[in-house]
Amino acid sequence: MSVALRIRSAGPGVTVQDAGRPGYLRYGVTPAGPMDAGALAAANLALGSAAGAAAIEASLGGLELEAEGGVIGLAVAGGAFDLRLDGAPLPSACRLALAPGAVFSIRAGPSGAWCYVAVAGRLDLPLALGSLATHARSGLGGLSGRGLAAGDRLAVAELREPPSCLSAIEAPWLALSAAPIRVIPGPQHDRFTEAALRAFVETDWRLSPRSDRMAYRLEGPPLVHSAGHDIVSDGVALGAIQVPGDGAPLVLMADRQPTGGYPKIANVIGADIGLLAQKRPGESFAFVSVSIEEAVALRRARAETIAAGLSMRPLAPELTAEFLLAANLIGGVADATQE
Amino acid sequence: MLHPAPRWLDAGEAALVVEFGDSVDPTINARVLALDAALRAAPIEGIVEMVPTYRSLMIHYEPLALSRSALMAHAQGLLRTSAAPGSPDRRSRSGGIDAPMRLWTVPCCYEPPLAEDITAAGEVLSLSSERLAELHAGALYRAYMYGFAPGWCYLGGLPAALALPRRAAPRGPTPWGAVLIGGGLSLICAAPMPTGWYVIGRTPERLFALDRDPPFLFEAGDAIRFEPVGRAAFARLEERAGRGAIVSRLMTESMA
């Protein structure tokens, strides 16, 4: 039997994502890709894979996985999720071996909204326009262009040796923070009143429950346009903050359309997109404006931090033994204890 | 309106917008596409991709590989040598300096039930269905830009007599290949979607087919004409398109 990950259960919005689908924005194709690219990179790098390799993106609805046909090495990173192997708690960023018969589960933890499950191998799915990134709305990528559901089976090709012990992943860029999200003024910031521009940076915005991979909707005072809310469509970048007629800002995320017709008051800087993505509905945060030079410097600092790599901390031997038992790697002993 | 000089707008630190104007206008769009073509012909390290729209070109770039000032200097240099906005023979062209002009002749059936809203649209416009179809098929369109969803390509050049407001409430999902009018534009439906536009015909052509090379039929700037076909011809062509064939005719005129 070929080796595969079987989905035992999946909340809404669990998808396969890689670094995204560049090159087709001009044909109306949404880029998709990870909500938190730094977290995807951490999971992949922990297994020695390319930072943008395809992995499973899970969210607050949770996910349960099991291995079929062989032991599969996994690495998980993202928000502070509640991860368990056969019920035993794991660090929220870790590398483990998943043996057939064991159940690996992800549930919402104290903070964070997205996490990534990378495999020590390759998710064996067909490329769509050069990428495995799922865009469910247009039915492209991933598994049949849709989110994952109970019973789905993801074949793993080019399977590599699983890790020999459980380790915590220590990657400084995974730290969440309540610091204001940094933005630079948007291409149509001159289409807002002075009061709206002030309110934009002075408000504690609340993330609306009506937020998804396409857009994060913000609750706060309506932002008033100075020259109407319809503009002739133009390009939309990751993190663009559009303000439609109702005055409620929308931050355009991974599943954004490549063009749009509402004025953009600001744009979240690249270094802070992941931080924003990890906010949960109901969480509050502020925006602060920085210069484009600062945005580039922060982008460089973040790229250098990620390039410096992460470290793996093997867990205490007694813990490791416990996890090996749970993972059924010490077959005879595990069988004995279960009986 | 065409701006006296292009505006350079930042959309974050990794996208630069070159805005030529603020309206849907063939002259403005030609400037956008000329810069797009020039950048494609003279690429530099650090440009990720370009997105042409009605009135602006968004240049996605990696600022750690290419500074904003270097990108802007490169694009300004190309604008000086390629755009030649005053030159009427350039202005009349849809593509860029090196792009050949391409004309697609796309089959379209204007008969109900495929043209499911043609009677309703005719009532709003005070035109018979026959006259509406004749006017739509008699015009030459320009592929302004893609947007909204894969393969959704907005076509300019709709005769003024066919300009009508979108419906107040969206109609049910349009089928694949529906030929739509709404606002002052025409559009071919590349994926079923609820819309406020009117379905006045159906083409057997697939604007987007993942398994075909090329997956997308039109390039922004292409010229498009609709050729009326009856329902029997439509069915024949649809069967061929389903097998992966391109059923429109392409004429290419070199711009030497």
| A181-185 and A287-289 beta bridge pairing | parallel
Closest in B50, B55, B57 to A232, CB measured? B55
Taking the Cβ of residue A290 and every Cβ of chain B, the question of whether any pair is shorter than 8 Å is answered with no
Distance from C-alpha of A182 to C-alpha of A195, rounded to nearest angstrom: 20
Average pLDDT value for residue range A151-155 = 98
A184 at interface of B, judged by CB pairs closer than 8 A: yes
Is B90 touching A (CB cutoff 8 A)?
no
pLDDT bin (cut points 50, 70, 90) of residue B100 is: low
Same domain, B177 and B67: no
A1 versus A299: the higher-pLDDT residue is: A299
Q: How far is A93 from chain B (nearest CA, A)?
A: 28
Q: Does A241 touch chain B (CB under 8 A)?
A: no
Are A237 and B153 a contacting pair at CB < 8 A?
no
Pick from A221, A208, A260: which is nearest to A239 by CA? A260
* Rounded-to-integer distance, Cα A8 and Cα A137, Å: 24
A314 Cβ under 8 Å from any chain B Cβ: no
Please answer yes or no on whether A269 and B64 come within 8 Å at the CB atom.
Answer: no
Question: Of B46, B68, B91, which residue sits at a domain end?
Answer: B91
Percentage of residues in chain A having pLDDT higher than 90: 89
Reference B188, options A139, A28, A140; nearest CA is: A28
Closest partner CB to B53 (pick from A137, A235, A299): A235
Residue B33 has pLDDT above 80, yes or no: yes
Phi, psi of B13 (to 5 degrees): -85, 5
- For residues B111 and B230, the answer to whether their CB atoms sit within 8 Å is yes
| Predicted pLDDT at B216 | 95
Predicted pLDDT at B254: 63
A296 touches chain B (CB under 8 A): yes
Q: Are residues B105 and B87 in the same domain?
A: no
Distance from CA of A176 to the nearest CA of B (A): 22
Residue B193 pLDDT grade (very low, low, confident, very high; cuts 50, 70, 90): confident
Judged by average pLDDT, the poorest of A23-27, A202-206, A270-274, B21-25 is B21-25
Please check whether residue B96 lies inside any domain of the structure. Answer: no
From residue A181, alpha-carbon distances to A173, A204, A248, A301, B104 in Å are: 15, 11, 17, 16, 47
The pLDDT of residue B213 is above 90: no
Distance from CA of A188 to the nearest CA of B (A): 8
Q: How far is A184 from chain B (nearest CA, A)?
A: 6
Q: What is the DSSP string of A93-127?
A: SEEEEE-TT--EEEEEEEEEEEEEEEESSEE----
In Å, how far from its chain's centre is CA B229? Answer: 22
CATH number, domain containing residue B59: 3.30.1360.40
Under 8 Å CB pairs connecting chains A and B tally to: 129
Q: What is the pLDDT of residue A10?
A: 98
Mean pLDDT of B137-157: 93
Question: What percentage of residues in chain B have a pLDDT greater than 70?
Answer: 91
Q: Is the peptide bond before A209 cis (omega within 30 degrees of 0)?
A: no
The answer to whether A187 contacts B51, with C-beta atoms less than 8 Å apart, is: no
pLDDT by residue (tens digit) across A284-320?
999 999 999 999 999 999 999 999 999 999 986 555 5
Residue B99: pLDDT band by 50, 70, 90 thresholds?
low
**pLDDT score for B171:** 81
Contact B10 A25 (CB under 8 A): no
- Cβ contact, residue pair B55, A23, below 8 Å: no
Q: DSSP letters of B53-111?
A: -SSEEEEEE-TTTS-HHHHHHHHHHHHHHHT-TT-HHHHT-SS-SSSPEEEEEEEEB--
- Beta bridge mates, B108: B228
For A201, the token pair is 């940076």
Tokens of A263: 């004025």
Q: Is residue B68 part of a domain?
A: yes
The reported pLDDT for the residue numbered A339 is 31
In a domain, B10, yes or no: yes
> Chain B residues with CB inside 8 Å of A270's CB?
12-14
Q: Does B49 touch chain A (CB under 8 A)?
A: yes
Interface of B with A in 50-69 (CB under 8 A): 50-58, 60, 63-64, 68
> Which of B10, B53, B215 comes nearest A234 by C-beta?
B53
Q: Do A25 and B51 touch (CB under 8 A)?
A: yes
How many domains does chain B contain in total?
2
Mean pLDDT of B175-194: 90
Reported as a single tens digit per residue, the pLDDT across A108-152 is 999 999 999 999 999 999 999 999 999 999 999 999 999 999 999
Whether residue B228 sits in one domain with residue B153: yes
- pLDDT above 60: residue B255: no
pLDDT, one tens digit per residue, over A250-265 is: 999 999 999 988 999 9
Neighbour tally for A251: CB within 10 Å: 27
Q: Are residues B81 and B200 in the same domain?
A: no
Domain boundary among the residues B71, B91, B111 is at: B91
Closest CA to A228 of A191, A258, A195: A191
Give the span between the Cα atoms of B129 and A23, in whole angstroms: 40
Decide if pLDDT at B88 tops 70: no
Alpha carbon of A139: minimum distance to chain B alpha carbons (Å):
10
Residues B58 and B109 in one domain: no
Contacts of B68 in chain A (CB under 8 A): 292, 296
What pLDDT does B76 receive? 96
Residue B256 pLDDT > 90: no
Residue B44 has pLDDT above 80, yes or no: yes
Average pLDDT value for residue range B26-53:
95
Q: Do A28 and B151 touch (CB under 8 A)?
A: yes
pLDDT of residue A230: 82
A130 shares contact with chain B (CB less than 8 Å): no
Per-residue pLDDT band at A321 (split at 50, 70, 90): low
Does B40 fall in a domain?
yes
The pLDDT assigned to A62 comes to 98
Other beta carbons within 10 angstroms of residue B113's beta carbon come to 8
Cα–Cα nearest to A114, from A76, A170, A156:
A76
Q: Are residue B56 and residue B144 in the same domain, yes or no?
A: no
> What's the mean pLDDT when you consider all of chain B?
90
CATH architecture of A181-305: Beta Barrel (2.40)
The letter for the amino acid at A187 is: P
Average pLDDT over residues B181-203: 90
Is the same domain home to B34 and B77?
Answer: yes
Q: A76-85, A112-121, A224-233, B222-231: which has the minimum mean pLDDT?
A: A224-233
Residue A163 has what pLDDT? Answer: 95
Query: Among residues B91, B121, B138, which one ends one of the domains?
Result: B91
Tell me the C-alpha to C-alpha distance, in Å, between residue A303 and each of A47, A49, B49: 19, 17, 20
Confidence bin at B200 (pLDDT 50/70/90): very high
Domain boundary assignment for chain A: 4-171+310-338, 181-305
The verdict on a CB contact (< 8 Å) between A186 and B11 is yes
Q: What is the mean pLDDT of residues B59-72?
A: 98
Give dist(CA A272, CA A253) in Å, integer: 12
- Is ipTM over 0.85? yes
Query: Residue B130 burial by CB count (10 A; 0-12/13-18/19+): exposed, middle or buried?
Result: exposed
- B8 in reach of chain A (CB within 8 A): no
Taking only the tens place, the pLDDT of each residue in A171-206 is 999 999 999 999 999 999 999 999 999 999 999 999
Answer whether B26's CB lies under 8 Å from B142's CB: yes
Mean local confidence (pLDDT), B156-166: 92
Q: CB of B141 within 8 Å of any CB in chain A?
A: no
Residues B20 and B146 in one domain: no
Q: How confident is the model at residue A334 (pLDDT cuts 50, 70, 90)?
A: very low
B27 and B67 inside one domain: yes
Read off the pLDDT of each residue in A82-96 and give the average, rounded to a whole number: 97
Q: Which of A28, A128, A299 sits opposite B152 (nearest CB)?
A: A28
CATH number at residue B213: 2.40.100.10
Q: State residue A336's pLDDT score.
A: 36
For chain A, the average pLDDT equals 93
- DSSP string computed for A264-311: EEEEE-GGGHHHHHT--TT-EE-EEE--HHHHHHHHHHHHHHHHT--E
Q: Is B151 on the interface with A (CB under 8 A)?
A: yes
Q: Mark yes or no for CB contact B53/A267 under 8 Å.
A: no
- For residue B253, what pLDDT band results from cuts at 50, 70 and 90? confident
Among B85-89, B126-130, B151-155, which is the least confidently predicted range?
A: B85-89
Domain that holds residue B193: 101-253
